[in-house]
Structure 1
Amino acid sequence: MPEWTIRAPAPGDVCALAALHVTVWRHAYRGLIEQPLLDRLDVDNSTTRWRATVSGVDAGASENRVLIAVVDVEPVGIVEVGPGRDADAPYPLEVLSLNVAPRWHGRGVAQDLMARAVGDAPSYLWVLRGNDRAIGFYRKLGFDLDGAERYDDSWRCFDQRMRRPAAPA
């Protein structure tokens, strides 16, 4: 049995989710995104974003789904999925974000979050070019790079699209 539980976030989780998000980004994207951009990440801004996301989902104002992995009372992972945002979306479901605390990498948290949020549904996601750890993880779940790329002006980086027609049997 895992050491964590998976559940929907509550309003009281928002500050911890924001701190988790900033920590994960600063760790995962070091050397891939310009350091001054990572240094500008701010827990207060992230709190505003996650508060809006969680309240929108709770109120039914968003079609997205958010799940968190919690150990004791501490969120250690978060996943958000929703309708594909791209005009050429290969599938209706997009994995919008998946973040797991670095100390929980390799322990099954991310797989559990993805299994609960995506299941075996056809889906796609965008991953930062050069993020070999993430690309390898998603490949283990049956996702493959499909050749599509986009430039993210705000982060000054390229993203690559990965997709999975359905979960591997």
Structure 2
Amino acid sequence: MHSSRPLPAARPLPEGVALREPTPADALAWATFLVHEQQRTYAGQLPVDFAERGLEQANVAGLEHVFASPKDAVRRIAWLGDRIVGLAATSAAPARWERELGLVPPPADRELDRLYVAAEMHGSGLGAALLEAVVDERPHYLWLIDGNARAARFYERRGFRHLDEQISTGPTWGGIPMHRMLRS
């Protein structure tokens, strides 16, 4: 599943980690890793059916399609051997759900949609390498679940600042409050 050519990284990767663009064959592994890491990161805060609903919303067939024709999105997947240890994605903003909720105009034209790293890779530099691989010099924003101090520190060190707002994550996430961070 992870046989395509690895991409060079601006920042050195942890030993044995290969970074590349995801392919349609990666869609199920991407979705499964993402939901698992979301559950781990927000343990005790999410509804009991989060994993089931999260995988449904991930829409693996839809991911296969977008991975086949990435358009304006930039995505990277990090493999260590035969397993995913991180992923990141940016896209044009605002997302459809942001428009539907009236959260427009966005604070920037690019959004960091995803950045998750397996717990055993925290502190290895993989998160920074993934961020550098998908975020360019243009202004970007991201959504941060309130209370995720580790992620807040990570993004603050890389020039993101908290915006003074609080929005509900909605029913899939149990209404946990979140806010945006901006790097302009």
TM range (shorter): 0.7 to 0.9
More strand, by proportion:
1
Give the equivalent residue in structure 1 for 2:100.
none
TM (norm. structure 1) is 0.84
- CA drift of 1:23 comes to 1.8
8 Å CA contact 2:25–2:64 kept in 1: the answer is: no
> Which whole-Å deviations, capped at 9, do the CAs of 1:144-166 have from their partners, x for residues lacking one?
1021221122221111110011x
- CA drift of 1:71 comes to 1.4
Q: Helix, strand or coil: the match of 2:27? A: helix
1:148 paired to 2:165: yes
Equivalent pairs: percent with the same residue? Answer: 25
8 Å CA contact 1:19–1:46 kept in 2: the answer is: no
Pick closer, same or farther for the CA change 1:136–1:48 going to 2, 3 Å.
closer
- CA drift of 1:83 comes to 0.9
Q: Output the CA distance in 1 between the equivalents of 2:126 and 2:64.
A: 20
> Which whole-Å deviations, capped at 9, do the CAs of 1:36-65 have from their partners, x for residues lacking one?
x155303992595244134224225x4322
- Alignment gaps of 5+ in structure 1: none
Q: Which amino acid aligns with 1:8?
A: E
Give the equivalent residue in structure 2 for 1:96.
113
C-alpha RMSD of the superposition = 2.2
- Alignment gaps of 5+ in structure 2: 1-11, 95-102
Give the equivalent residue in structure 2 for 1:58.
68
- CA drift of 1:18 comes to 2.2
Give the equivalent residue in structure 2 for 1:77.
86
8 Å CA contact 2:24–2:68 kept in 1: the answer is: no
Q: Output the CA distance in 1 between the equivalents of 2:140 and 2:54.
A: 31
Give the equivalent residue in structure 1 for 2:31.
18
Q: Output the CA distance in 2 between the equivalents of 1:112 and 1:83.
A: 21
8 Å CA contact 1:23–1:101 kept in 2: the answer is: no
Q: Which amino acid aligns with 1:93?
A: R
8 Å CA contact 1:152–1:158 kept in 2: the answer is: yes
Q: Output the CA distance in 2 between the equivalents of 1:126 and 1:47.
A: 18
Q: Helix, strand or coil: the match of 1:88? A: coil
8 Å CA contact 1:93–1:122 kept in 2: the answer is: yes
- 1:20-169 → structure 2 map (5 Å cutoff): 20-31=33-44, 33-34=45-46, 37-42=47-52, 45=55, 49-60=59-70, 62-85=71-94, 86-154=103-171, 155=173, 156-165=175-184
Q: Helix, strand or coil: the match of 1:96? A: strand
> Which whole-Å deviations, capped at 9, do the CAs of 1:86-121 have from their partners, x for residues lacking one?
412111110111111111111111111110100332
Q: Helix, strand or coil: the match of 1:68? A: strand
Q: Output the CA distance in 2 between the equivalents of 1:67 and 1:50.
A: 17
Q: Which amino acid aligns with 1:55?
A: H
8 Å CA contact 1:79–1:113 kept in 2: the answer is: yes
8 Å CA contact 1:7–1:68 kept in 2: the answer is: yes
Q: Which amino acid aligns with 1:15?
A: L
Pick closer, same or farther for the CA change 1:38–1:99 going to 2, 3 Å.
farther
